[in-house]
Amino acid sequence: MPINVKSAGLATTIQDLGRPGYYHLGIPMGGAMDRLALRAANLLVGNDEGAACLEAVFMGPALEFTQDTWIAVTGGELPPMIDGEVQETWTTLKIKKGQTLTFDYIRSGARAYIAVAGGIDTPLALGSRSTYAIGALGGVDGRAIMAGDSLPIGAHSGSVKEGASVPESMRRAPGKPAELRVLPGLYWHRMTEAAGEQFFKDTWKVALEADRMGYRFQGGTPVEFVDREPPFGAGSDPSNITDACYPYGSIQIPGGTEPIVLHRDAVSGGGYFMMGTVISADMDLIGQLQPHTLTKFIKVNMHTALSARRDRAALIQSIRDTLR
């Protein structure tokens, strides 16, 4: 039985863990901006960790359920309400046929993940149900959900324990200020040594241009570039290069003024230099940053980046063990 969408919220899309294997064709991996939160939501309702959920940005949808089932809401603190009664986040909740799930105002973070037992069962597109709106792939006809949609739910065979909860110590969230660890990249040498040092000394602020493609940051010192004799790159701006592949999390600084961290739906290449890459362990944190959030970039080496990746994997395993 489907879920009926009464209202869609601000920008609610179907997301899973993405569609790897097509980046060389210009199709990004996509998927949840906060992958740990999506995994946790699915574990709470007995789904496979990569099952499709709803990713709600700042405002939640209104959903009418046509059968008894289990739900969980994780990620940013967007309190769910069942028939108007506030419920806990990061907790397994029972919802009955005919009841409506709505949301209070967001307390912290930016994105909440709504899992339903069985997962959302829209058709696969290149192996994923994730919505990639720019390419009209996945989701509901390649777009965000809308009022009037009916979302199909898959068969459920997992075990569920009502009231199960992820401990607060395992609910990873950005600090104040947020700290994003960065591994310097192939084009680090394009900046002066002083500019590179200043980048990490400054406190930046999330701009209004912050979405699934990337997050822009403002308020720091403009970057100084090493002098080069033109012509160079793809244009006259010193931030231009001829061409390069863009890894997830790469930081480009067009014109040397406002860094942009590329995220899940970003393009796979282009003509701006990349001064470094936010490490994979911190990419989830970016998805929970609101505009105007103060942010520090922290310079790390490969050893630290790999250690952080192991720590994140251990945290996910701890969540699995807790919910067994």
Determine, yes or no, domain membership for 252: yes
Determine, yes or no, domain membership for 158: yes
pLDDT value, residue 36? 98
Is 188 in contact with 182 (CB distance < 8 Å)?
Answer: no
- Claim to verify: residue 66 and residue 7 sit in the same structural domain: yes
Residue that terminates a domain, selected from 142, 170, 198: 170
Determine, yes or no, domain membership for 17: yes
- Claim to verify: residue 198 and residue 153 sit in the same structural domain: no
- Claim to verify: residue 156 and residue 183 sit in the same structural domain: no
- Claim to verify: residue 163 and residue 35 sit in the same structural domain: yes
Determine, yes or no, domain membership for 278: yes
Q: Which two tokens stand for residue 154?
A: 């898959």
Mean per-residue pLDDT of the chain: 94
- Claim to verify: residue 147 and residue 249 sit in the same structural domain: no
Domain, as residue range, for 265: 178-314
Residue that terminates a domain, selected from 170, 189, 223: 170
Torsion 259-301-21-110 (CA) sign: negative
Is 243 in contact with 230 (CB distance < 8 Å)?
Answer: no
Residue that terminates a domain, selected from 151, 170, 189: 170
Q: Which two tokens stand for residue 53?
A: 């959920």
Is 132 in contact with 27 (CB distance < 8 Å)?
Answer: yes
- Claim to verify: residue 201 and residue 158 sit in the same structural domain: no
Mean pLDDT score, 38-55: 98
In whole angstroms, how far apart are CA 6 and each of 24, 66, 140, 145, 148? 38, 13, 15, 10, 6
- Claim to verify: residue 41 and residue 166 sit in the same structural domain: yes
- Claim to verify: residue 156 and residue 223 sit in the same structural domain: no
- Claim to verify: residue 135 and residue 25 sit in the same structural domain: yes
Question: Using CA atoms, how far apart are residues 186 and 66, in angstroms rounded to an integer?
Answer: 53
Task: Summarize pLDDT for 123-136 with one digit per residue, the tens.
Answer: 999 999 999 999 99
Determine, yes or no, domain membership for 322: no
Determine, yes or no, domain membership for 74: yes
- Claim to verify: residue 157 and residue 183 sit in the same structural domain: no
Determine, yes or no, domain membership for 129: yes
pLDDT value, residue 234? 63
Determine, yes or no, domain membership for 309: yes
CATH value at residue 219? 2.40.100.10
Task: Summarize pLDDT for 217-272 with one digit per residue, the tens.
Answer: 999 999 998 887 776 666 677 787 777 788 899 999 988 899 999 999 998 887 78
Question: Given the structure tokens 């979405």, which residue do they identify?
Answer: 211
Tally the domains of the chain.
2
Which of residues 238 and 277 earns the better pLDDT score?
277
- Claim to verify: residue 97 and residue 231 sit in the same structural domain: no
Task: Summarize pLDDT for 181-220 with one digit per residue, the tens.
Answer: 999 988 898 899 999 999 999 999 999 999 999 999 999 9
